[in-house]
Amino acid sequence: MEINTSADRPPVNGTSLPYDVLQTEVLRALRGERSSREMSAFLGFSFDQYGRWERGDVRLRWSAFEKVCQACSIDLRSAFFQTYGFLPAALETERFARDLFQQIGGPLAHRELAERLCVDSERVDRWVYGRTEMTFPEVCHALYQFTGQGFFSWLSNAVPIAQLPSVIPFAAQGESERSVYLSFPYAAGLEAAVQLEAYKKLPRHDSNWMAEVTGLAVEVVDRMLPILESVQRLKRVGDKYEVNPSFVNVQGGSREGLARLTRYWTEQALRRFQTPTGLPVTKRGNPNAILFRVAPVSRQATMAITEALVKCHNEISKILDNDNEPAEEIRIVIGHHFSADEQP
């Protein structure tokens, strides 16, 4: 796997995506060689509505974007499923915003959603209760804010990223991070280690200490640190490392790469790290009780199970996001999603 660690890539951390410019670029790419008036007529308008959207004169409502995608034979519901593992109940109805936030944000209060999106909480109320329809830039903002680089995997289902100049640096950053995580599954362990309170108390960086904590060879630690720096995941501050706070999302990777990543951390969770009870774990086995069940289920049961898993995942994520206490231990939280629909 080729790993892009170009040092001359423009930094994007802490910079907001230009959502209004993105709207123009997406619409321009979707109409292709047709003029905006031809595209408007294709959509059934007697005036240049498409040009007004493309120029930004009029807000592109989400339902209007969905109709544009339908006309261009783009399946947005499938794009949500392929990227995020869920099917929105509806793309044009008042339920869309409520379903979207439930899936990507979990059980967050409207005030918390508003804070994350930097909007007024009353506007979130109007979205969720169907009194105001979200616009295309607002949906993009929510997806990027809550799902990180997975947003670009979703967006590429409609338009190739290469046709969207304003977001290419952001997507390139995400691809570099994703390629490192897929090629070196243990990279996340190094990030976790430098956030431990014990590391922060060290007078200077110690690769031997980090190797002992992560179970990696010292040579691997020394080789990985410059790579994580080059993709802006770690930064050197004084004599030690700190983690760049941006969120990494590996959605959009190859099936083989994702399988290798999840297999590595599943094995680490089962064989090496300490159990929740504090019992020691040897490398030969895991004292945790393991239970699994393989069963034929109906489509209704499948959706109910998926909803329960998403709820559990969101609750765990909320605990992690709200943990402001000193980090004393490393824990592995793994969520596996299997779908028989993905197999012939």
Question: The CATH number of the domain where 196 resides is what?
Answer: 1.10.10
Domain boundary among 172, 206, 234: 172
Residues 217 and 261 in one domain: no
Sequence-ordered list of residues with C-beta below 8 angstroms from that of 289, at least 6 positions apart, any chain: none
Q: Which residues are bridge partners to 234 per DSSP?
A: 243
289 in a structural domain: yes
**Are residues 275 and 328 both part of a single domain?**
yes
- Closest among 271, 298, 273 to 285, alpha carbons compared: 271
Phi and psi at 11, nearest 5°, equal -65, 140
Could you tell me if 104 and 146 are in contact, meaning their C-beta atoms sit under 8 angstroms apart? yes
Identify whether residues 224 and 268 lie together within a single domain. no
Residue 58 phi, psi dihedral angles, 5° rounding: -130, 140
**Per-residue pLDDT tens for 280-329?**
444 434 444 455 677 777 878 877 887 787 778 778 878 887 888 998 88
**Alpha-carbon distance 169 to 10, whole Å?**
7
Residues 197 and 287 in one domain: no
pLDDT at 288: 47
pLDDT, tens only, 76-134: 888 888 787 777 665 556 688 888 888 887 777 888 889 889 899 999 999 988 889 99
pLDDT at residue 71 above 50?
Answer: yes
DSSP code per residue over 222-256: HHHHHHHHHTTSEEEETTEEEE--PPP--TT--HH
Which SS3 state, helix, strand or coil, does residue 147 take? helix
- Those residues whose C-beta lies under 8 Å from the C-beta of residue 244, and which sit 6 or more positions away, are 13, 232, 233, 234, 235
Q: Which residues contact 175 (CB under 8 A, 6 or more apart)?
A: 4, 149
pLDDT of residue 147: 82
Q: Inform me whether the pLDDT recorded for 61 exceeds 50.
A: yes
Domain count, the chain: 3
With tokens 């109906």, the residue in question is 298
* Residue 138 sits in the same domain as residue 212: no
The residue ranges of DSSP E strands in the chain, in sequence order, are 234-237, 240-243
Q: Which of 172, 192, 217 is the last residue of a domain?
A: 172
For residue 337, what pLDDT band results from cuts at 50, 70 and 90? low
Same domain, 32 and 129: yes
Residue 161 domain flag? yes
Q: Could you tell me if residue 318 is inside a domain?
A: yes
DSSP reduced 3-state for 106? coil
1 found inside a domain:
no
Same domain, 234 and 323: no
292 and 236 both lie in a single domain: no
| Structural domain range at position 46 | 19-172
Let me know if residue 302 belongs to a domain: yes
Sequence-ordered list of residues with C-beta below 8 angstroms from that of 155, at least 6 positions apart, any chain: 26, 140, 161, 164, 167
Whether residues 236 and 101 fall in one domain: no
> Could you tell me if 195 and 333 lie in one domain?
no
Average pLDDT over the chain reads: 81
- 155 plus 297 within the same structural domain: no
Q: Which of 116, 140, 172 is the last residue of a domain?
A: 172
In a domain, 69, yes or no: yes
Judged against a pLDDT cut of 50, whether residue 153 lies above it is answered with yes
d(CA 58, CA 183): 44
Q: How far from 211 is each of 200, 208, 214, 222, 328, CA to CA, in Å?
A: 15, 5, 5, 9, 16
Judge whether 177 lies within some domain.
no
In order, the DSSP letters of 64-84 are HHHHHHHHTT--HHHHHHHHH
Q: Are residues 60 and 96 in the same domain?
A: yes
Residue at 94 is within a domain: yes
